[in-house]
Structure formats: C-alpha cells, structure tokens
Amino acid sequence: MRSIMKRAWEIARNAVKRFGYNVKQYIKMAMIMAWKEYKEMKEKVEKPVSERIDELEELGFKRWQKGTFDRLYINATQLGLVCQYYKTGNIKAATFDGDSISNSEAYRMKAAKTYIDVKTGEVISTNKSLMKAAMKLAGIEKN
C-alpha cells in the first residue's frame, strides 16, 4: 500500500512539473493510475515466465535454447544504455536511464550478460544496474 501511495504522489508531482498548478489537483487521477499499474504488475508477476515468453520477446528479449538451458537474453541498449561514439569506435559519452555514467561503466554494461532463466524465472546479470532494469522491464519481483 505504501509503494502505491508513493507512486501516486510521484505521478502527481510529475504532472505538476509538466502541466503546472498544484499536486492536489492531480492526486485523484494519480491514485487511479498507481492502482492500475499495481494491478497490471501483480498480474504479470503471478504468471510464470514460461507462460510469458511471447510477451517478453515483444519487449526485446531474445530466446536461446540449448540442451537443458532455456534463457531469454537482453542487451544493455534495450535496457536504457545510450552511447555516443568517436569515429574510432570508442565511447565518447554514455547515459543509463537518463543519468550520465562513465565510459568504463558503459563498456562494462555492454559486455554484461543479462538474461532470465525460463525454468526458474530468475533474472541473472553480471551488472547490478542491468539486473534491476531487466527485472523492472519483465515485471519480476525480487524474492
């Protein structure tokens, strides 16, 4: 309940920044939107990953199967990494989810492997920021 209220106030404050006036004018609609987001997220989480493969592929995940392995991979650029490059191919500047990051962190993110194990529904990544972004995109809650 607390997270829903926090999200509603966040939505209302963003509306004030965008359209003006004050938070009280937007809070009712923000509550409706926050509840809707919560219900949609709850429905996603209740379904196992194995039943949501098509949905996840539409979000940008790529399925890979070999032997007993069944995984859905996603790369850093689909999770919010944006890089500008020099003509040499080296990174000039990088942002992740709108925040500026170092070039070395961008290289680490590009090299990171991030995937969902279809059998367990667990998100696995060599980079914590990418893991959080993949969990958010896929609608998977951390246990």
Over the stretch 15-28, which tens digit does the pLDDT of each residue have?
998 888 888 889 99
Q: CA–CA separation, 24 vs 68, rounded Å?
A: 54
Query: Has residue 131 got a pLDDT over 80?
Result: yes
Q: In what order do the strands lie in the sheet with 99-101?
A: 81-85, 91-96, 99-101
Range of weakest confidence among 13-27, 44-58, 90-104, 116-130: 44-58
User: Which amino acid is residue 120, in one-letter code?
Assistant: T
pLDDT band at 32 (very low <50, low <70, confident <90, very high): very high
Q: What is the mean pLDDT of residues 93-113?
A: 94
pLDDT band at 31 (very low <50, low <70, confident <90, very high): very high
pLDDT score recorded for residue 59: 86
Structure token pair of residue 82: 């944006």
pLDDT score recorded for residue 2: 85
Write down the pTM of the prediction. 0.65
Percentage with pLDDT > 90 across the chain = 55
The sign of the dihedral angle between the CA atoms of 134, 139, 142, 143 is negative
